[in-house]
A = this chain, B = another copy of it.
Amino acid sequence: MTVHPSRSLAERRQHAADGLSQAAEPGSGRGIPDATVARLPLYLRALAALAERKVSMASSAKLADAAGVTSAKVRKDLSHLGSYGTRGVGYDVDYLIYQISRELGLTRDRGVVIVGVGNLGQALARYGGFVSRGFRIAALLDTDPARIGDWIAGVCVSPAGDLEEVVRTEDVAIGVITTPAPAAQPVCDRLVAAGVTCILNFAPAVLCVPADVEVRKVDLAMELQILAFHAQRKGAERGSGMQLAEAVR
């Protein structure tokens, strides 16, 4: 038996079919492509919907349909996590939920700090999807004295000066920026200096961060503009020959 004694994190469950797979290093999660990581939450949502309907097993085709992707993509994506499927049968829904949750780090609750309690910040704070998925709002921060002291979704709005202390005491790993654009970079700098390594930026500004900090951005105006491009493209085709004009009934 070629069992590695000091193997990667946690315990390695005995994946029965070890066979000849040596390069994959299942479960260690080292080389998961970004595109796959971005889809894991999608699968998680689809699996949760299946579990709600008391479905205990799901093939890649069924999962693909529920997630809106192709079955080949599902299989390749899941294969990066390890061999958690059974050939001829499919994937165990509950077990796969657990494995993906573990890979995403959702098994342990994570503190999130939201900086900027404007329209969007308030909406995010009240959005149930955060808390229900293991994210705890550690703090709501703002510079406006009129807002400080307000209670939103059971959390009190604190002055922005508390940022460093909150990050330290609450072990915050994720910062959400919902400030106006000019305040975004200074806030970002303070978050990074305080030890935050992952930032979700809703402000319409380009953030400059060290290489070891992960930034994801959501720009609502940008999304609309992209759609406007497609709307124009479709609209232009309407003038010439179209095969499906208003045939949708």
Chain A residues engaging chain B, CB cutoff 8 angstroms: 1, 3-4, 6-10, 12, 17, 25, 28-30, 37-38, 40-42, 44-46, 64-70, 103-106, 110, 112, 119-120, 122-124, 126-127, 129-130, 133-135, 173-174, 192-193, 195, 197-200, 204, 206-208, 210, 212, 214, 216, 218-236, 242-249
B212–A234 contact, CB under 8 A? yes
Establish whether residues B214 and A230, one from each chain, have CB atoms under 8 Å apart when the complex forms: yes
The answer for the CA separation of A200 and B229 in the assembled complex, in Å, is 13
Number of copies: 2
Q: When A42-B222, A220-B124 are in contact, do A104 and B249 touch as well, CB less than 8 Å?
A: no
Measured CA separation A201–B34 after assembly (Å): 22
A224 to B214, CA, bound (A): 12
List B contacts of A123 (CB < 8 A). Answer: 119-120, 122-123
Q: Are A243 and B8 in contact (CB under 8 A)?
A: yes
**Chain B residues within 8 Å of A70, by CB:** 8, 10
A46: chain B residues within 8 A (beta carbon): 206
Of the candidates B17, B127, B212, B227, which one forms a contact with A200 in the assembled complex, judged by CB atoms under 8 Å apart?
A: B227
Contact B236 A9 (CB under 8 A): yes
Q: Indicate the member of A206, A214, A232, A242 with the most B CB atoms within 10 Å.
A: A232
Can you name 26 A-B residue pairings with CB atoms under 8 Å? Answer: A3-B248, A4-B245, A8-B70, A10-B64, A28-B243, A29-B233, A30-B248, A37-B226, A42-B206, A44-B225, A66-B206, A67-B206, A68-B206, A104-B225, A105-B232, A119-B123, A120-B123, A129-B220, A134-B228, A193-B249, A197-B231, A197-B234, A198-B231, A199-B227, A200-B223, A200-B227
